[in-house]
Amino acid sequence: MSKDQSYGFVIFLISIIVAIIYLVAFFGEAVVNSSYWQGWHDLAVGIPVLLFVMLVLVISGWIGWTMLTTPPPAPLEPEPTPTPETSSTESGSSEASSPARSRRSRSRTSRKK
């Protein structure tokens, strides 16, 4: 058995033991009608409820703290508006250098017709 597996076994064993103790404390009053179990029953109900409420409050406090201490995001820059291309048919060098530009120029001229 590896080290991780032995840790897993110990955690599993402890959780089973705690579950048994919790069940005995929770249902002890029903099994044995005694005033002794009343205190344990109250604790068996009260402690998990307290822990759950505290967990929710800690998580909400952590979210609030994170929102408080995080700087606001930088504003997004607006996208630059495309400038209308001038007729580049006179200078053939710019069209030859960029095939995508030449396709856009052709599509715009075809829409104008």
Model pLDDT for residues 33-46, shown as the tens digit of each residue: 666 666 777 777 88
- DSSP conformational letter for 89: T
92: enclosing H helix or E strand: helix 92-97
| Range with the poorest average pLDDT among 12-16, 28-32, 63-67 | 28-32
In which band, very low, low, confident or very high, does the pLDDT at 71 lie, cut at 50, 70 and 90?
confident
Sign of the torsion angle spanned by Cα atoms 41, 43, 46, 48: negative
| Of the candidates 89, 94, 80, the residue with the CA atom closest to the CA atom of residue 109 | 89
Q: Tokens 């053939």 belong to which residue?
A: 92
Question: What is the C-alpha to C-alpha distance for residues 14 and 20, in angstroms, rounded to an integer?
Answer: 10
d(CA 95, CA 113): 20
Q: How confident is residue 97, by pLDDT bands cut at 50, 70 and 90?
A: low
**What pLDDT shows up at residue 29?**
64
Backbone angles phi, psi at 48, to 5 degrees: -65, -35
Whole-number average pLDDT of the chain:
74
| pTM > 0.75: yes or no | no
Q: Taking the alpha carbons of 57, 62, 65, 67 in that order, is the dihedral positive or negative? A: negative
Identify which of 23-27, 77-81, 103-107 has the greatest average pLDDT: 77-81
95 near 105, Cβ under 8 Å? yes
Residues 53-66, mean pLDDT to the nearest whole number: 89
